[in-house]
Structure formats: structure tokens, C-alpha cells
Amino acid sequence: MNKREFIKLTGLAGAAVLSGPLSGLANTSATVKTNLDDPKAPFTLPPLPYGYDALEPNIDKQTMEIHHDKHHGAYVKNLNDAIANTPYASLTLEQILKKVTAAPTDKAIRNNAGGHYNHSLFWTLLSSQKTTPSDKLKAAVSKDFGSWEAFQQKFNDAAKTVFGSGWAWLIVTPGKKLAVINTPNQDNPLMTNLVKEQGTPILALDVWEHAYYLKYQNKRPDYINAFWNVINWNEVEKRYKAATA
């Protein structure tokens, strides 16, 4: 698939986004209001906390525009459509994730609720400013993985070995330990009825091709390496502290 074909394909995923309260995610109090036909829709697309080009050269502007506006926007619209007139309609996003199952009737809700949560989290974990992990966070990581380098290798391997589309995660387990896992598609560690290893995500990497194909083509390892240059370690540590409090 060449660049022109990829852009055409991703454009098909685009959809108008909806306005309304987005629950349970940090840094999403502001909303993008673009669906004037249904202002009471429960979920909305959070704006990026930086410009589309802020992550250059590690993640390019065009990818961020398509990824946020088209892909994430489509997840929000489809989630609102999927939960309409169902018991899920009155739940928060986190409650939906905990309740959703592998039943065929839940398929659209599973995919789009996961897509909305995962991306809303992902944007906050990226930074246009250089940040570094604190000594406290490094010590916690070294305790559970043996060393910082061992953690990075394990995370990289988790991201590289996702077959097809999915995510790599650093989570805090129910036992307050750090662990690295990956999930397929838009599943995440909060989906208690679906994932084998549950926990609170504090770092996430989207390894769907739409996250990197325009710049890196099929070179996923290059994209994974570039990711380490734009991690918002202040946000990671904030989430670590909250998860272990």
C-alpha cells in the first residue's frame, strides 16, 4: 500500500465527533464540539494537549491529524451509536470497560469503548517537551524488572510481537507490581472479562499501522524506538502514584 492509498483508506474511517462529558481520564476536561445534531451524546473527542506537529520528527504531523481526528473521532461516534438504548448508555467509560464481554452483541461496544479509552490515554502520555523518569520511578521499575534496560527491552518486545494490530502496556497489577503486557486490537487491561492480565495502565503504545505507517511504513521497530523520545514521564509517574496509593 502506497502513501496515497493509505491516506484514502484512513479517510474512510473519519466521522464527525460528538460533544458531551468524557469521564475518568486526566487532561480531557476540554472538548471538541463538532456534532451539533446531538449535543447530549455521552462521549466526546478530547483535544490533543499539543499541536499536530509537536512530536516531529518522531511522530509526523499528518499521522497525528489522521490518527486523532479520523480514527479516534470515529471510535467516539461509533461508541455513542453502539451504546444508545442499551444498559451501557448510563455508564462511565471505565464502567463500560469493566462490564463489556466477548459476546457478539458487545462487539461494537468492546472495540469502540476500548478505542476511545486507549487513545484518550495515549495522547496524555506523549509530550512535545523532553521529560525524564524520576529516580523514584526508575527504582520501582528496576525492582520489578531487574533494571531499567530490562524493562525497556520487555516493553519493546511486547510492542514488536503484537500480531497485527494492538497495544503494549506498562501496568500496575492488583498486587501493586509493575508488569508489561500486550493486547490485541483495542482491548486494554481494564477489561476484566476479556484480558488475562488485569491492571491499571500507566504507559501505552499504539502499534496499529495507522499510528506509524505514513512515516515508518512497515518498520515498526523504528517507530517503537522513536516513541521513547516523546514519552511524558511526568504523566506516567502521576498515574503510577495514583495506582499505588
Residue 208 backbone zone (phi > 0: left; psi -120 to 50: alpha; other: beta): beta
The reply, when asked if residue 53 is annotated as ligand binding, is no
Among candidates 105, 40, 115, 125, which has minimal Cα distance to 70? Answer: 115
The reply, when asked if residue 72 is annotated as ligand binding, is no
Taking the C-alpha atoms of residue 42 and residue 100, their distance in angstroms, rounded to an integer, is: 17
Taking the C-alpha atoms of residue 212 and residue 90, their distance in angstroms, rounded to an integer, is: 35
Pairing of strands 200-206, 166-172: antiparallel
Environment class of 131 (CB within 10 Å of its CB; exposed 0-12, middle 13-18, buried 19+) = middle
Is-cis flag, bond preceding 57, omega within 30?
yes
The reply, when asked if residue 119 is annotated as ligand binding, is yes
The reply, when asked if residue 210 is annotated as ligand binding, is yes
Instruction: Name the binding residues for Mn(2+).
Output: 67, 119, 206, 210
| Binding-site positions | 67, 119, 206, 210
